[in-house]
Amino acid sequence: APVHLLVISGSSRTGSLNLALAREACRIAEVQGATARLLDLRALDLPLYDGDIEAGPGVPAQAGELIAAIAAADAVLLVTPEYNGFPPPLVINAFDWMSRARASGTQPAGLKATAGKPAGLLSASPGPLGGLRSMNYLRQYLQMAFAMIVHPRQFALSRADQAFDATGELKDEKAREAVTGVVVSLLQLGAALAAPRGE
């Protein structure tokens, strides 16, 4: 079976540069023979983590959608903005909720779905560093709290407001090559880790 890649966008606006980059990553993965699914965290519309919601109605069903999408993927690519040098609250909040979700039916607990799952990181920003600083925190968060295997290769797209043409494709060949490098190495890791399980 082809490698299945889940691409997660962590932007909080419609005209998102990171969403554009996530779409580009999906196209690149499909050219490589993988299947790709784009999951926009904003569209999940999770409430801000609240202990009373957790104690009352329980972990929101949308956290289950995220768990199912991750469980079904051989690898996960996070494409997220940087806010003040840090990963955006939309991303942290969704993963925090997921960490509280217990197993139900055929669905694994949140932390079980992420454990050992290969992850890759991309970011885009109009700034000169492209969101580079936040990726180190996100890497640590995903590795330490979620036991994900975060690929060493990552890429921050700087000047991202000028990076895409009218059709939404990356204009700069070097940038496209860098994104392709991240996607291809992540797909290879996903394939390598999926193989022993016979999936």
φ and ψ of 101, to 5 deg: -80, 125
**16 belongs to the binding site for ligand FNR (CB under 6 A):** yes
Note the Cα 158 to chain centre separation in Å.
18
Q: Report the side by side order of strands in the sheet with 4-9.
A: 35-40, 4-9, 75-79, 118-124, 149-157
Using the rule CB under 6 A, is 171 a contact of ligand FNR?
no
Torsion over CA of 112, 195, 191 and 10, rounded to 10 degrees?
A: -10
Tokens 């299947």, residue located: 35
Q: Which stretch binds ligand FNR (CB under 6 A): 69-77, 81-89, 105-113, 184-192?
A: 81-89
Interaction between residue 190 and ligand FNR (CB under 6 A): no
With 0-12 / 13-18 / 19 or more C-beta atoms within 10 angstroms meaning exposed / middle / buried, residue 61 is: exposed
Helix (H, G, I), strand (E, B) or coil at 40: strand
The least distance separating ligand FNR from the CB of residue 79, rounded to whole angstroms, comes to 8
Task: Name the residue nearer to ligand FNR (CB basis): 122 or 189.
Answer: 122
For residue 131, state whether it binds ligand FNR (rule: CB under 6 A): yes
**125 sits near ligand FNR (criterion: CB under 6 A):** yes
**Residue 84 CB, nearest distance to ligand FNR (Å)?**
5
Decide whether 122 or 183 has the Cβ nearer to ligand FNR. 122
Rounded least distance, CB 156 to ligand FNR, Å? 8
* Spatial separation of the C-alpha atoms in residues 121 and 186, rounded to whole Å: 9
Q: Does 93 bind ligand FNR (CB under 6 A)?
A: no
Site mask, ligand FNR, residues 18-47, x = CB under 6 A? x-----------------------------
Look up residue 95 and give its two tokens. 């993963």
Residues that bind ligand FNR (CB under 6 A): 11, 13, 16-18, 81-85, 124-127, 129, 131
